A = this chain, B = another copy of it.
Amino acid sequence: MAVTIKDVAKQAGVSPATVSRVIADNPRISSKTKQKVREVMEELGYFPNFQARNLVAKKSQTLGIVMENSATLAFQNPFFPEVLRGISTRAHGSQYGLYLSTGATQEEIHREVVEMAQGKRVDGIILLYSKIGDPVMEYLGQCGLPFSVVGRPYKDPETVSYVDNDNINNAKETVEYLIGLGHRHIAFVGGATDFVVSLDRMEGYRQALDQHDIPFVEAYAVNQELMQGKEREAIRQLMALDVPPTAIVTHDDMVAYEVIGYLEDLQIRVPEDISIIGFNNHAISKHLKPPLSTVDISIYELGLHAAELVLEKITDESVPPKQVVVSSRLIERGSCRRL
C-alpha cells in the first residue's frame, strides 16, 4: 500500500491534520513541526493522493483539451502539436495538467466533454476549433465550466473567451498581395465550410476582390464540400476554365502542397505558370520547391493565450469574457510571381 498522510502523522508523532497543513505550507504550523514532518515524508516517500485531494478541494488542477479528431485530420496537421506546445507551456507554468479528449465522432466528443465537466475531471476546457452549430460549444456555454476557444465562436462571440487570428484580414491582405503582383484571376481553395475560420478566410477573399473591383467568379471559389474528396478533379476543372486563374490561395499549406502536385501532373508549373500561397506556415514549407509563400499565424501563441484565458476564468469566475487577437504575417517565398 502507498504511504498515506496517516502513516506520516503516526511516524512524526502529530495528527493527520497537521501533516495536511504542512503539505499546504500553512503558516500557523511551527517551523520545527514542519521540518520534522517533512523529514518523515521524505523518509517514508510520501506523495499526496490526487484523487483524495481533488475530491475535497473540488478541483482537479487539470485542463481538458478538446480537438476534432474526425477523419484524423487534426492529427495530421502540424497545427495540433504546435498549439498543444503553447498550451502545455502555459499550463505547466501554473502547475496544471492536461487531459486530452479521445473521441472520434462529434457525439463521442460531446459525451466526453459532459463527463469531463460533470465528473469534475477538469477545471476548465480549451476547445481547439470553432464550428457552426457545434453542440459542444453550446454545452460549454451553458454548463458554467470555464473554457476558452481557439477560433472565434460563430454565435455570440462576445460572450466567450477566445483567441484567434484576424482571419478575414489575413485572407484579404493575402489576396491583395497577389493583386499587387498583378493578378486579377485569383482562385481560393478553402476548407470545410462549417468551420468559422474557413468562412472568415472566404470573406476576406471576397472583400479584397470587392475593394479592387474584381468580380467574384463562382467557379474560382472552391471548398471542401464542393470537392467532396475529389481534389484532383476540382483542380483540373479549375484550370480547364475558359479563363483559368493565375493564382490560387489555399487555406492551408498542406493543401497547397497537394494542389501543387496536381498542377504538376497537368504540366502547370509553380510559380512560372501559376502562383500559389498557403496558410499556417508549416515547418517544412520553407523547404519546398519552390519555397511556399504562406501566412504565419503564430500557432504557438494561440495555444499560449488559450491556456491563459481558461486559467484566468478558473482563477476568477467573474472575470468578463476576453478576446485575444494574435498577429499573423505574410511570408514571401518563392511560390508567387509578378505578372
Contact = CB atoms under 8 A, between A and B. Distances in A.
A286 B119 CA distance: 44
Interface in A37-87: 45, 47-52, 54-55, 60, 62, 65, 69, 72, 74-78, 80-82, 84-85
Interface stretch (A89-97, A215-223, A313-321): A89-97
Interface in A119-140: 119-121
A75 B81 contact: yes
A150 interface: no
Contacts of A51: 51, 54-55, 60, 120-121
A272 interface: no
Given A74-B81, A78-B81, 18 more contacts: A2-B118, A45-B118, A47-B119, A49-B55, A49-B119, A51-B55, A55-B55, A69-B88, A81-B81, A88-B100, A88-B102, A89-B102, A92-B103, A92-B104, A97-B99, A97-B102, A282-B284, A288-B289
A121 B289 contact: no
A251 to B, nearest CB: 16
Interface of A: 2, 45, 47-52, 54-55, 60, 62, 65, 69, 72, 74-78, 80-82, 84-85, 88-89, 91-92, 96-100, 102-104, 108, 114-115, 118-121, 254, 257-258, 260-261, 282-284, 286-289
Contact of A287 (B78, B115, B260): B260
B114 A47 contact: yes
A52 B47 CA distance: 18
Q: Which 9 A-B residue pairs are closest in the complex by CB-CB distance? A: A47-B118, A257-B287, A92-B102, A51-B55, A50-B119, A98-B100, A75-B85, A75-B81, A88-B102
25 contacts: A51-B60, A51-B120, A51-B121, A55-B55, A62-B99, A65-B100, A69-B85, A69-B88, A72-B85, A75-B82, A76-B81, A77-B81, A81-B81, A91-B102, A92-B104, A97-B100, A97-B121, A99-B99, A99-B100, A258-B287, A260-B287, A261-B287, A282-B284, A288-B289, A289-B289
A5 to B, nearest CB: 13
A87 to B, nearest CB: 9
Contacts of A52: 55
A103 B91 CA distance: 10
Contacts of A282: 284
Contacts of A99: 62, 97-100
Contact of A76 (B98, B103, B120, B283): B283
Contacts of A82: 75-76
Contacts of A88: 69, 100, 102
Nearest to A77: B81
A238 to B, nearest CB: 18
